[in-house]
A = this chain, B = another copy of it.
């Protein structure tokens, strides 16, 4: 992340801290002298892909602008074994205590997404396909979660409804058919955008490509059906891109990759990744 990305990604940290701290961390205020300094250690309690070092650092920096940087010999995206202390941070003990939960809540979620993405990426290794995410992200955390997907090795689909034309079954029905929908989209869209259309059978596939779609989404097909549709599509237009989605279990995803699609989008990367198990232990120094 450059400094520019950071401002986009880190912008809500003050809000997250307010949510947790409210009118003050009364336990820490009562029990810990404000001049005690400590060191906190981030410990991986299971095997995981590290994600969120800069975000965690920013949480503590928000509470104390003079808080030093996280100290780590690891990088975003490194895979560490259970038991690894992968980062440490020195600072005022009250700052470490008050920021701990928000830092962990963010880092555990981000590492969870990165870890799950990595598993999917490995599952299709060697095929030509790419794992991508969806808009099925946690409301308020889209940029963080999409960043975590890239750390895990995936790529990003649309960032929002304004970021590309994707004509789904609902749009087709309401527009009065694929040709009408694609034609309208071509008229509307900027010249820098391509048009993607969701299809569910051979007739739709042909109609979409003939109307000008440059990307085809195969939703909820079997790998076998997908393979056939991929082949047909390439005959119509060898440059068309094929995306598969729907029911992408980790043990089935390779079948789709081998069916020849270019892109495999996986909602669960962001909507159902479990939090990576990370603890933060503080010692006086």
- In the complex, chain B residues whose CB is within 8 Å of the CB of A167: 27, 31
* Cβ distance A110 to chain B, nearest Cβ, rounded Å: 11
Contact bitstring A244-277, B, C-beta under 8 A = 1, else 0: 0000000000000000001100011001101100
A274 vs B180: C-alpha distance when bound (angstroms):
38
The reply to whether B281 and A26 contact each other, CB–CB distance below 8 Å, is no
List residues of A (48-107) whose CB comes within 8 Å of B's CBs: 63-64, 92-95, 97-98, 100-102, 104-106
What is the size category of the interface that chain A forms with chain B? 35 or more
Known: A140-B12, A140-B141, A163-B22. A101 touches B158 (CB 8 A): no
Binds B, one of A168-176, A201-209, A223-231: A168-176
A32 within 8 A of B: yes
- In the complex, chain B residues whose CB is within 8 Å of the CB of A191: 132, 157, 194, 196, 215, 241, 243, 262-263
- In the complex, chain B residues whose CB is within 8 Å of the CB of A4: 21, 24-25, 28-29, 63, 94-95, 98
A162 vs B105: C-alpha distance when bound (angstroms):
18
A200 within 8 A of B: no
Most buried by B among A31, A64, A215: A31
Contact bitstring A146-190, B, C-beta under 8 A = 1, else 0: 000000000111111111111110111111000011001101111
Choose one: B23, B30, B139, B156; the contact of A187 (CB below 8 Å). Answer: B30
The reply to whether B190 and A158 contact each other, CB–CB distance below 8 Å, is yes
A100 vs B193: C-alpha distance when bound (angstroms):
23
List residues of A (2-37) whose CB comes within 8 Å of B's CBs: 2-5, 7-8, 12, 15-16, 19-34, 36
- In the complex, chain B residues whose CB is within 8 Å of the CB of A193: 164, 192-194
Choose one: B30, B97, B105, B173; the contact of A136 (CB below 8 Å). Answer: B105
- A4-B25, A105-B138, A138-B138 are known; give 6 further A-B pairs, CB within 8 A: A12-B139, A19-B139, A97-B174, A98-B161, A156-B190, A164-B190
The list of the 3 closest CB pairs from A to B, nearest first, reads: A164-B192, A22-B162, A30-B188
Q: Name A's B-contacting residues (CB within 8 A).
A: 2-5, 7-8, 12, 15-16, 19-34, 36, 38, 63-64, 92-95, 97-98, 100-102, 104-106, 108-109, 112, 132, 135-143, 155-168, 170-175, 180-181, 184-185, 187-196, 215, 241, 243, 262-263, 267-268, 271-272, 274-275, 281-284
Could you give 23 example pairs across A and B, Cβ below 8 Å?
Answer: A4-B24, A4-B98, A21-B160, A22-B161, A22-B163, A23-B159, A25-B161, A27-B161, A27-B166, A31-B181, A93-B174, A98-B161, A105-B135, A105-B137, A112-B272, A136-B275, A138-B140, A159-B162, A159-B190, A164-B190, A191-B194, A192-B194, A268-B275
